[in-house]
Amino acid sequence: MRFIFKNENDFEVKWNNFVQKNMNVSYVYTLNALESQNHYARLPSNDEFSFLIEENDEVLAICPLVFQKNSENINSFSWSDYEGYIFSPSISEKLPIKIKRSLEKKCYEKIDELARDNQVSKIMLMLDPCTNLYDFNILTKYGYLDTT
């Protein structure tokens, strides 16, 4: 299992294939949507921290991760739009639930690691309401506050 970041070869092809093949992924996960959000954001932003998880040439999960620095020089993984929230990782719908939970954990651990390494003090994630497959806010399981 390996993490692939946006600056690596074939990232875009692999990401777009994942989005097209998974019914639980809405348009907000497309690279075009990410680029549009970055272009029109009120604060300078980039999604160079976005990553996917691959095993045996199959993408198992994607995680859009947008980095911003606000006027007080606070680093965050957030968007100046969507009330500041970026969408949480998306896991392949084809996988058994136990593997999905394991991949979720790996995604949130990687987000936390990237935050520590880049002095990120604020992470704002939300579940995509069009594709949420949970009957509770799964983000609370990984230490995020429930602001719903």
- Name the pTM for this structure: 0.83
What pLDDT does 125 receive? 79
DSSP classification of residue 43: S
Contact (CB, 8 A) for 47 and 27: no
* 114-144 pLDDT, tens digit each: 999 999 988 887 766 655 555 556 566 666 5
Q: Give the span between the Cα atoms of 22 and 30, in whole angstroms.
A: 12
Q: What are phi and psi of 38, to 5 degrees?
A: -65, -40
Q: Is 24 exposed, middle or buried (0-12, 13-18, 19+ CB in 10 A)?
A: middle
Using CA atoms, how far apart are residues 42 and 141, in angstroms rounded to an integer? 31
> pLDDT tens digits, residue range 6-61?
989 899 999 999 999 987 787 778 888 777 776 666 666 677 899 999 999 999 99
Residue 102's pLDDT is 93
